[in-house]
Amino acid sequence: MAASTTRVRGPNILVTGTPGVGKSTLCSEVSQRSGLEWINVGEVAKEGQFYDGYDEELECHNLDEDRLLDELEERLKNGGVILEYHACELFPERWFDAVFVLRTDNKMLYDRLIQRGYSAKKMEMNMECEIMQSILDEAKESYAHEIVHELSSNTPDDMESNAERIAMWVELWKHDNGVE
Spatial CB neighbours of 126, under 8 Å, sequence gap ≥ 6 = 18, 19, 20, 109, 113, 118
Picking from 51, 32, 38, 33, the residue whose alpha carbon sits closest to that of residue 12 is: 38
Q: Is pLDDT at 4 greater than 80 in this prediction?
A: no
pLDDT band at 85 (very low <50, low <70, confident <90, very high): very high
Q: 31-54: per-residue pLDDT in tens? A: 999 999 999 999 999 999 999 999
Q: Is pLDDT at 2 greater than 60 in this prediction?
A: no
CA angle 6, 142, 103 (to 5 degrees): 105
Distance CA 11, CA 97 (A): 6
Q: Is pLDDT at 1 greater than 70 in this prediction?
A: no
- Per-residue pLDDT at 6: 66
Share the mean pLDDT of the chain: 93
% of the chain residues with pLDDT over 70: 97
The full length of the chain comes to: 180
Determine the average pLDDT of the residues in 58-78: 92
Distance CA 65, CA 71 (A): 10
- Per-residue pLDDT at 55: 85
pLDDT band at 104 (very low <50, low <70, confident <90, very high): very high
Q: What is the 3-state secondary structure (H, E, C) of 104-119?
A: CCHHHHHHHHHHCCCC
pLDDT band at 58 (very low <50, low <70, confident <90, very high): confident
Q: What are phi and psi of 102, to 5 degrees?
A: -85, 140
Q: 148-170: per-residue pLDDT in tens? A: 999 999 999 999 999 999 999 99
Distance CA 23, CA 1 (A): 25
Q: Is pLDDT at 15 greater than 50 in this prediction?
A: yes
- Per-residue pLDDT at 139: 97
What CATH number matches the domain at 12-41+79-174, 3.90.470.10, 3.40.50.2300, 3.40.50.1100, 3.40.50.300? 3.40.50.300
Q: Checking phi first, is residue 178 left (phi over 0); if not, alpha (psi -120 to 50) or beta? A: left
35: buried, middle or exposed (CB in 10 Å: 19+, 13-18, 0-12)? middle
Provide the 3-class DSSP secondary structure of residue 94: helix
Determine the average pLDDT of the residues in 115-127: 91
Q: Is pLDDT at 19 greater than 70 in this prediction?
A: yes
